[in-house]
Amino acid sequence: MELRRRNPGAQFQWYEVDGRDAREWLLPDLKAMTQGHCAFCDTFPLEDRTLESIEHFKPKADQRFEAHAYDWTNLYFCCGLCQSEKGVSWDDDLLRPDHENYRFDAYFQFDYTNGAMTPSSLATEQAINQAKATIKAYGLDIQERRRMRQLELRKWQKSSDRDIDEWAYRDYLQNDAGDNSVS
């Protein structure tokens, strides 16, 4: 923050500790908290470590939140697609995936005929608004995501491996709606 006060054009950089930047220190713990899944879309970032991101939930580029750039509660393991979709946007209705009372099915539902993700038809008006904001911000219902969920479901249905943490899109698979219904 001090650097930005002296130079308004200064960009965020991870600080270094013992020759490693803070990102390298934080990434393993953030990744372990989600079993290696993106905290927002629940896919696995590719093995290419450059695609593994730390999402600043409240964007560090937004002056309102620059003091939160290193707050543990503002950092999430994230795939590159979610991070690039959200960019530096902010909406007060965004859902924190680790909120104490967060339950996926209280906010979202899937259409198994096409892989679409929408706000739950059983959600409160506030929860619907939060789901809409989160879906939009992270691109959770873009065509590519729909296709990826459907591919993962087909592989899941053919597999005998039911260790759900080894699969992407766990909420989608756990419902395992092979009957093509909306859940």
User: Which CATH number does the domain housing residue 40 bear?
Assistant: 3.40.1800
Per-position b or e across 89-121, b if 16+ CB within 10 A of its CB: ebeeebbebeeeeeebeebbbbbbeebbbbbbe
CA distances for 168 relative to 101, 118, 130, 162, angstroms: 22, 18, 23, 12
Same domain, 1 and 81: yes
Percent pLDDT > 70 in the chain is: 87
Domain boundary among 38, 64, 89: 89
Q: Which residues pair with 79 in a beta bridge?
A: 52
Q: Answer yes or no: is pLDDT of 133 > 80.
A: yes
Mean pLDDT across 108-136: 96
**Residue range 37-88, pLDDT digits in tens:** 999 999 987 655 556 789 999 998 888 998 898 899 999 999 989 999 999 9
Same domain, 38 and 112: no
Same domain, 102 and 77: no
Domain boundary among 68, 89, 110: 89
Mean pLDDT across 21-26: 85
Same domain, 21 and 68: yes
Q: Answer yes or no: is pLDDT of 183 > 50.
A: no
Residue 178: band (very low, low, confident or very high) from pLDDT cuts 50, 70, 90: very low
Same domain, 83 and 96: no
Domain that holds residue 142: 91-183
